């Protein structure tokens, strides 16, 4: 296996481990030695494309344990691994149990400019959730990889590592706190059942709704996203060209699963003033739709655009036979979006907690409050 390192060649420690039904070679760079004890016969290595099924099984075992549902698919992992700047051999580490099954995973997301907030995550199979050394080793590896990205940020910028944990996931939350993360925010996962008819969307004067024409509309959508999310807690702006390229790459990676007829634009004349960008299903559940992004340009807020977009979205999903629609949002949203979602008939289904660790002090580019 060839691994590119900017610092040149490094030595490898090779441990040959006999696993049930297979031979596995566990290769760990000396400078990335696993620092926490593991049970006898377990190993650590970089992920490969052949690991997708095992990773999905491990992730779904965890969401099944908490919510009784699968929330990951092989397609989701493949889209994740096709994202710009992602390097599989550098950004993911697996821990395998003595059977060769995925017991845990650590991953780091290279966010691109300005490198102010870097996602550092770990997941452990529920049958091993009580192994503190497993959790701690995964986060220790993840933080080492995260710190390699810190110099890419301008020297005056504050850089932090971040991770999200389900509120019920006590083992993961305890591991984050042991690693030095602090809880900073709570997010709501909200939903609405579509059994009853949806109230008709009432649009402000001169505002109407249509579906997307990607060739024409994508730059306007990305600009609206960067503008409307600027006053959402924790948001970090990015260069427009980089954001546009990332969106295009994500749509291309989504392939046949991308449904342009579920991207709704509120427009005034030729100007896009609001968006409701939806996925046709959650994981493999074709009975539930998902609103991935809802936003309204600041100058058009408080005119009913967001509520009209939600009602239009719900009515279209209901027309197609869906049982419900779900979305995620900051529980203390600075713009008061929670009131809009509740007025549209949504309710909180569960919550997650955002954790953060400062890696380098400096100018904080993340939104923490509204400008007055």
- Full DSSP string of 58-101: HHHHHHHHHHSS----HHHHHHHHTSTT--HHHHEEEEE-TTS-
Q: How many residues does the chain have?
A: 372
The pLDDT score that the predictor gives to residue 78 is: 95
Burial class (CB in 10 A: 0-12, 13-18, 19+), 71: middle
Q: What is the pLDDT of residue 2?
A: 34
Q: Which two tokens stand for residue 271?
A: 């100007």
Q: How far apart are CA 23 and CA 105, in angstroms?
A: 20
3-state DSSP call for residue 259?
coil
More confident residue, 242 or 25: 242
Query: What CA–CA distance (Å, rounded) separates 364 from 159?
Result: 8
pLDDT tens figures, 291-326 = 999 999 999 999 999 999 999 999 999 999 999 999
111 vs 119: CA distance, rounded Å: 8
Q: How far apart are CA 286 and CA 292, in angstroms?
A: 16
Strands lying side by side in the sheet with 263-268? 43-46, 92-96, 102-109, 117-124, 159-166, 347-360, 182-193, 324-330, 288-296, 271-279, 263-268, 207-211
Q: Which residue has the higher pLDDT, 9 or 70?
A: 70
pLDDT confidence of residue 17: 33
pLDDT at 31: 40
More confident residue, 274 or 22: 274
For 322-332, what is the mean pLDDT? Answer: 94
Structure tokens belonging to residue 206 = 């001169």
* 110 pLDDT higher than 90: yes
**Closest listed residue to residue 27, CA positions, set 47, 9, 7:** 47
Question: For residue 113, how many other CB atoms are within 10 A of its CB?
Answer: 15
Q: How far apart are CA 138 and CA 92, in angstroms?
A: 10
What per-residue confidence (pLDDT) applies to 34?
Answer: 85
What is the C-alpha to C-alpha distance for residues 111 and 242, in angstroms, rounded to an integer?
Answer: 10
pLDDT computed for residue 371 by the predictor? 60
What span, in angstroms and rounded, lies between the C-alpha atoms of 57 and 125?
9
| Residue range 341-349: mean pLDDT, rounded | 96
**362's tokens:** 């400096």
List, in order, residues 6 or more apart from 180 with CB less than 8 Å away.
357
CA atoms of 27 and 50, how far apart (whole Å): 16
Least confident of 262-276, 327-341, 348-362: 327-341
E runs forming strands in the chain: 12-19, 22-29, 43-46, 92-96, 102-109, 117-124, 159-166, 182-193, 207-211, 263-268, 271-279, 288-296, 324-330, 347-360
Measured in degrees and rounded to the nearest 5, phi and psi for residue 275 equal: -140, 145
pLDDT of residue 32: 53
Confidence of residue 259 (pLDDT cuts 50, 70, 90): very high
Instruction: Tell me the pLDDT tens digit for each residue of 157-204.
Output: 999 999 999 999 999 999 999 999 999 999 999 999 999 999 999 999
- 256 and 245 Cβ atoms separated by less than 8 Å: no
User: What gap in Å lies between CA 86 and CA 98, rounded to an integer?
Assistant: 29
* pLDDT tens digits, one per residue of 4-48: 333 322 222 323 333 333 333 334 443 457 889 999 999 999 999
Calculate the average pLDDT of the chain. Answer: 90
Give the model's pLDDT for residue 25: 33
- CA-atom Rg of the chain in angstroms: 22
Residue 12 confidence (pLDDT): 26
236 within 8 A of 117, measured Cβ to Cβ:
yes
């Amino acid at each position: 296996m060839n691994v590119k390192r900017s610092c040149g060649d490094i030595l490898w420690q090779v441990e040959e481990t006999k696993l049930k039904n297979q031979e596995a070679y566990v290769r760990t760079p000396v400078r990335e030695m696993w620092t926490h004890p593991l049970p006898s016969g377990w190993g650590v290595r970089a992920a490969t494309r052949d690991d997708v099924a095992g990773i999905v099984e491990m992730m779904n075992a965890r969401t099944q344990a908490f919510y009784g549902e699968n929330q990951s698919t092989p397609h989701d992992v493949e889209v994740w691994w096709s994202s710009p700047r992602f390097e599989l051999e550098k950004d993911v580490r697996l821990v395998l149990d003595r059977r060769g099954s995925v017991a845990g995973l650590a991953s780091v997301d290279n966010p691109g400019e300005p490198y102010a907030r870097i996602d550092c995550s770990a997941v452990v199979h529920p049958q091993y959730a009580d192994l503190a050394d497993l959790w701690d080793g995964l986060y220790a590896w993840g933080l080492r990889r995260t710190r390699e990205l810190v110099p890419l940020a301008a020297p005056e910028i504050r850089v932090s590592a971040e991770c999200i944990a389900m509120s019920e996931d006590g083992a993961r939350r305890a591991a984050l706190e042991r690693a030095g993360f602090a809880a900073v925010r709570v997010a709501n996962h909200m939903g609405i059942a579509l059994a009853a008819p949806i109230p008709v969307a009432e649009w402000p004067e001169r505002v109407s709704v249509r579906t997307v024409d990607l060739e024409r509309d994508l730059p306007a959508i990305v600009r609206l996203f960067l503008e409307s999310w600027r006053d959402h807690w924790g948001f970090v702006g990015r260069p427009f060209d980089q954001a546009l390229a990332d969106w295009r790459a994500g749509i291309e990676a989504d392939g046949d699963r991308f449904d342009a007829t579920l991207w709704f634009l509120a427009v005034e004349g030729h100007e896009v003033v609001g968006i409701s960008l939806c996925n046709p299903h959650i994981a493999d559940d074709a009975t539930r739709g998902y609103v991935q992004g809802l936003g309204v340009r600041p100058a058009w807020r408080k005119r009913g655009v967001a509520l009209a977009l939600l009602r239009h979205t719900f009515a279209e999903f209901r027309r197609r036979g869906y049982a419900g629609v779900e979305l995620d949002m900051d529980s203390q949203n600075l713009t008061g979006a929670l009131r809009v979602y509740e007025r549209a008939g949504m309710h909180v289904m569960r919550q997650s907690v955002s954790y953060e660790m400062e890696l380098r002090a400096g100018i904080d580019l993340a939104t923490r409050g509204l400008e007055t």
